[in-house]
Chain A
């Protein structure tokens, strides 16, 4: 059973009297546990597609199904918020950590807003995930006391701490040097294997694509290439 199914998804932005199509009838199926990269040139629609999959944006047309039964395109704003709260993890290009919270608290934030997790359980989960991303001993540091790579690890930990089925990452290594990029990608791959979490990330960095187990190319809002496997033909 697929985790996510997109059927003829379209997104049109209205700029004054002009309609600008960003996504033109994309149909996709993402299986559970996939490690998928969406790539394409700037303005091709990668981020828009990621936002639609992440329920941050609504498609103009088409349908999105989650685990075959939940029709995301019909949910209200509040229902979408709840859906994100319990099912999705996000990693942003600019990490978006809260500067007045420590690394521990930033990660904890994602599960503080979920009911039914005890304080003890929360603490265990946060420490465990911080250890997994290599931030043991840095729990009490605030974002300004962490390096760029460490901040992004905190962001990954925040996305993964609630053990979501799907993590969406929009150019997660764009602000990192190649060494840190590789470390971050290795962590994501490790988590993908360890937890079975499905990852979808957008990029135009060939180094990132090399880690992918599925490559989807988008151009002008359409899927132009979709390939799966261990040794994919990564465009350079």
Chain B
């Protein structure tokens, strides 16, 4: 206890040094917490945007369609009036479902072309699954007829305004070229940049007629009570499809967002890099402090040894001192981190400002990113800061404590 008291009092010997070393640790912890909060926010928002605006909770399609889904082929389609889909949609966990027909096209404004993803949607059912109607910036939501809605980004790029006519050029199911001239009746401004820049929505019937697919659709999208239900429900549906010998397959939200999940995992690596930086900062700071302290206190170390203190007791004094620095640094870091995370959560930060331009690196967030709270991270990093300080102090403390008492006393 006495040695602990002495160690803690030692923190007041060179207040400036204690504060600077603590602040170095605090800085690392602050950066880590803010970065982690951003990753949590980024991850939550990305997944929410992707699920709410693009994939829905669960999708059913032909297994072979899944393999080529990125090319949006017109093969392996499903009947729109599908008996089995209707049957399984009676499951109480299913809130709504909608068919969609995806294909690629180029959009033309009379001067230039731009490749787009066209989605034929059921104008009544689709809004029950993907709530695009809540993101109409100008004009109105899609209606049946030769109409289309596009994102704000695409409209700016191609200089389209509401009530303009857009021309879509594409290949039909038979491989012949066809066009659709549709009146632009609405502009979307969603938090998903890809939807804003790449997607064109037209009525499903218009798409089917223009592509010569008949009453076929690419996939069915399902809205469930919760995102988590889709994992168990997809398994249940797949068992049913398998029993009936069908080539249909249900995909849960994780499978539908696998590319994004893989990308978000990269964020965890970023956190590991941050941890490594904290280790370097804290270790350098603490080693420097302990070595300086040991050098300054050589005579004291000699005196303590003369009094009969063993080396481990002297190491203990330095280690507790370092732990004190760790506690101060971690506490300040966690407080500053808490303020940073609070601001991130309330005010957010612009992704384009962070990336220095319009690019969002495929992250499905168009506007501000808001941080997320992760109490476990706060606890972890607080302990981590102290632990790194303690571990970093052991070697220099041992160096000081192992000094020959005569050499220490007489500075030899």
Contact = CB atoms under 8 A, between A and B. Distances in A.
A139 interface: no
A123 B290 CA distance: 32
Nearest to B402: A77
Interface range on chain A (Cβ under 8 Å from partner): 20 to 34
B2 A109 contact: yes
Contact of B308 (A51, A92, A98, A113): A113
A185 to B, nearest CB: 21
A94 B404 CA distance: 18
Contacts of B306: 54, 56, 84, 88, 90, 92
Interface residues of chain B: helix, strand, loop or mixed (majority): helix
Contacts of B300: 96, 98
B307 interface: yes
A90 B308 CA distance: 10
B311 to A, nearest CB: 8
B359 interface: no
A81 B308 contact: yes
A78 interface: yes
Nearest to A155: B303
Interface string B247-267: 000000000000000000000
Contacts of B309: 81, 85, 113
A83 B306 CA distance: 10
Interface stretch (B6-14, B64-72, B153-161, B391-399): B6-14
Given A81-B309, A113-B313, 12 more contacts: A56-B302, A56-B405, A57-B404, A57-B405, A81-B305, A84-B305, A92-B299, A94-B299, A96-B303, A100-B12, A100-B13, A113-B308
12 contacts: A47-B410, A54-B306, A56-B406, A88-B306, A90-B307, A92-B306, A96-B303, A101-B6, A101-B9, A109-B307, A113-B2, A113-B309
Interface string B275-306: 00000000000000000000000011011011
Interface in A28-63: 47, 51, 54, 56-57
Contacts of A84: 305-308
Contacts of B404: 57
Ranked 3 nearest A-B pairs via Cβ: A85-B308, A96-B303, A100-B9
Contacts of B406: 51, 56-57
Contacts of A219: none
Interface string A103-118: 0000011101100000
Nearest to B1: A112
Interface of A: 47, 51, 54, 56-57, 78, 81-86, 88, 90, 92, 94, 96, 98-101, 108-110, 112-113, 158
Contacts of A54: 306
A86 B308 contact: yes
A96 B299 contact: yes
Contacts of B182: none
A78 B13 contact: no
B160 to A, nearest CB: 74
B302 A96 contact: yes
Given A56-B306, A84-B307, A90-B306, A100 B10 contact: yes
A158 B307 CA distance: 9
A86 to B, nearest CB: 7
B6 A100 contact: yes
A83 B310 CA distance: 11
B349 interface: no
A192 B302 CA distance: 25
A133 to B, nearest CB: 18
Contacts of B6: 98, 100-101, 109
A84 B10 CA distance: 24
B400 to A, nearest CB: 15
B409 interface: yes
Interface in B1-52: 2, 6, 9-10, 12-13
A96 B299 CA distance: 7
Nearest to A110: B307
Given A90-B303, A96-B299, A96-B303, A82 B13 contact: no
B10 A56 contact: no
Contacts of A86: 308
A96 B307 CA distance: 11
Contacts of A85: 307-309
Contacts of B12: 100
Interface in B208-241: none
A162 to B, nearest CB: 9
Interface in B96-118: none
Contacts of A100: 6, 9-10, 12-13
A190 to B, nearest CB: 23
Contacts of B307: 84-85, 90, 109-110, 113, 158
A155 B395 CA distance: 31
A57 B309 CA distance: 15
Nearest to A57: B406
A61 B12 CA distance: 44
Nearest to A90: B306
A223 B122 CA distance: 111
